[in-house]
């Protein structure tokens, strides 16, 4: 499967996270990723594009579920860009193992899964159901850095 071709056909342009472009580095010392055997561990990914946060605030007050879904979708695209940074070739992705999703929301908001589905949907769109569907957990949290409404970290099975 040629994932780069699939991205072109879908009209999806991934951000370039090479060099100092990975936004996570602004939050402190960390690795963008780590590979152990045939597992790629990605650091946190968030809905930032060109240095701007998409839909800052909490779901259930300042941010709607639909906006949260969009933010999660952008986060999924940023994750794919993180995979490309780590692997060089997206065709090395063998399967999504799991995603742990964090949704900044009001205490009584319980539809966190509807937000994180934006991330899941784009992974399946790009990689197909067999590779892109991951185990997933979503946790509602009080706050995330800089008012982000969504963040995820993940593990990916790769061709070593």
Task: Tell me the pLDDT tens digit for each residue of 64-98.
Answer: 999 999 999 999 999 999 999 999 999 999 999 99
Judge contact between 122 and 76, C-beta under 8 A: yes
- What pLDDT was estimated at residue 40? 98
> Torsions phi, psi of 94, nearest 5?
-100, -30
- What pLDDT was estimated at residue 28? 81
- What pLDDT was estimated at residue 68? 98
**Structure token digits, residue 51:** 């240095």
Helix/strand/coil for 18: coil
Q: What domains sit in the chain, N to C, each tagged with a CATH number? A: 3-11+23-158 (3.30.1330.40)
25 has a pLDDT exceeding 90? no
Average pLDDT over residues 123-143: 97
Judge contact between 14 and 49, C-beta under 8 A: no
Task: Match 């990605």 to its residue by tokens.
Answer: 42
**Confidence label for 26 from pLDDT (cuts 50, 70 and 90):** confident
Task: Tell me the pLDDT tens digit for each residue of 98-129.
Answer: 999 999 999 999 999 999 999 999 999 999 99
- What pLDDT was estimated at residue 71? 98
- What pLDDT was estimated at residue 19? 73
- Alpha carbon distance 27, 37 (integer Å): 27
- What pLDDT was estimated at residue 69? 98
From the list 113, 130, 119, 121, the residue with the least C-alpha distance to 154 is 119
**Confidence label for 20 from pLDDT (cuts 50, 70 and 90):** confident
Rg (CA), the chain: 15
- What pLDDT was estimated at residue 116? 98
């Amino acid at each position: 499967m040629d994932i780069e071709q699939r991205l072109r056909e879908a009209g999806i342009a991934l951000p370039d996270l090479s060099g100092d472009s990975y936004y996570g580095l602004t939050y402190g010392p960390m690795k963008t990723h780590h590979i152990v055997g045939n597992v790629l561990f990605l650091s946190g990914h968030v809905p930032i594009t060109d240095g701007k946060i998409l839909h800052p605030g909490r779901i259930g007050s300042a941010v709607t579920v639909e906006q949260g879904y969009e933010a999660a979708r952008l986060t999924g695209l940023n994750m794919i860009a993180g995979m490309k940074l780590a692997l060089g070739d997206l065709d090395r992705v063998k399967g999504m193992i799991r995603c742990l999703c964090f949704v900044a929301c009001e205490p009584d908001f319980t539809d966190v899964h509807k937000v994180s589905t934006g991330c899941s949907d784009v992974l399946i769109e790009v990689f197909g159901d067999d590779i892109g569907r991951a185990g997933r957990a979503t946790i509602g949290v009080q706050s995330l850095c800089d008012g982000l409404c969504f963040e995820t970290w993940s593990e990916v099975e790769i061709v070593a």
